[in-house]
Amino acid sequence: MDSETLSRRTLRFVNVAHALDHFVLLIYPTAVIAIAEQTGLGYGDLIGLATGAFVAFGLCSLPMGSLADRFGRRTMLAIFFLGYGASCLGVATATGPLAFALWLCVLGLASAIYHPVGSAMLVTHARRLGRDLGVNGVWGNLGAASASGVTALLAATLGWRAAFVVPGLVCLACGAAFIALVPGDGDAAGAKGQTKAVIPVARPVALIAMFGLAIFAGGLTFNMTTISLPKVIDEGVGHAMPLALIGSLATLVFLFGALTQLAMGRLIDRYSLPSLFVALSVLQPLGLGIAAATTGLPLLAGLVLAMAAIYGQVVINDAMIARYVPPAYRARAYSLRYFVGFTASGFVVPGIALLHERGGFTLVLGVAAACGAVIWLSALGFRAFAGAGPAPALAPAE
């Protein structure tokens, strides 16, 4: 197989994997509404069972870069597809809280593979970094956006178990196709993409500290918003809304994030990353603050603004590593980046249950807005420290 074909196929499967990664991880937060009706358990008790999934999602992302360097990125992505499919089918067989917790933990372990491995594969095969990161981000956002709507539809028509079985079979089919159509890792397009010079900085430790703080706070806002979104809409827009309509509204909110990622990918190829970082991050506390203080349509408007900023930030974070980290260390850098960001999700699930019990989603969104303010302050610090070093002209992305 020629290198051009290998790169195109690899990028397509990496994009599909990104969509599935976010879709499957967000099935349970919507399905839990239907599960609660059938089991009689409370929302707080059921959502807490997903803690292991999100802890595994964060903690297990750390070694994935090293495993990919040892066994090959193609091998790890194949394990992702097949493991995700098997764990979905496992959750569908659960009949009690312990089984739910165990299978959700396995699902979280499989989900941890994608971001460190897929991001490194994407940067390797990208022709235009910003554009390809933006497109990949859209795929992930579409997965997250469709999760609520598709899950609600399947749960309402075929039962909550079907909401896991159908995506599980899709993951297994994609895994078989990936193994058949992508014979190896290759470096193909990456040979061109890696000619781009790494941006030098004068104070790398301070820059890493600002970036790390933004990543951790961003993990909190990302997970607090995406996990609680269906229930926020349920309580904040109308209690009498059917589950399918709740899922559809959540999907519309996620779609605005997808549009932002596409636009941000284009901007990354043209403008300074630190400046884009500051401009986008200020929208997170603004949108979340509006959502926390309102109900109805203003709440939806605040969620749209916040979701656009949150998902646009993901593209900027990945571009930071591609631009500031040498190619030989990128897989491990992505592992560390997602470890820091996703470890925050382990605190989020029980945190949502606790905050919701004490102050409803007004308190949940208020805390998320405070985390968003930390991201904005970190972005200001990052721009200050990044500007302290040499200021090379932006090179073309290919």
Quick check: is 194 in a domain? yes
pLDDT at 336 over 70: yes
pTM > 0.95: yes or no? no
Looking at the domain assignment, is residue 319 inside a domain? yes
Write the single-letter amino acid at 88. C
Please give the residue range of the domain that contains residue 355: 3-386
Confidence (pLDDT) at 345: 63
Number of structural domains the chain divides into: 1
For residue 213, the domain's CATH number is 1.20.1250.20
397 lies in a domain? no
Q: pLDDT tens for residues 40-86?
A: 677 677 877 887 787 787 788 888 878 888 888 899 999 999 999 99
Q: What is the average pLDDT across 333-362?
A: 80
Q: Give the integer Cα–Cα distance in Å for 127 and 271.
A: 18
- Residue 166: what are its φ and ψ, rounded to 5°? -60, -50
In a domain, 393, yes or no: no
Residues 6 or more apart in contact with residue 34 via CB below 8 angstroms = 155, 156, 159, 160, 163, 243
- Residue 392 in any domain: the answer is no
Which residues are CB-neighbours of 60 under 8 A, at least 6 positions away? 108, 109, 112
Instruction: Report the C-alpha gap between 214 and 222 in whole angstroms.
Output: 12
Give per-residue pLDDT as tens, 116-175.
898 888 888 888 777 888 888 888 878 877 887 888 889 888 988 999 999 999 999 999
In a domain, 64, yes or no: yes
Q: Which of 51, 113, 53, 56 is nearest to 82 (CA)?
A: 113
Query: Does a structural domain hold residue 14?
Result: yes
d(CA 381, CA 124): 29
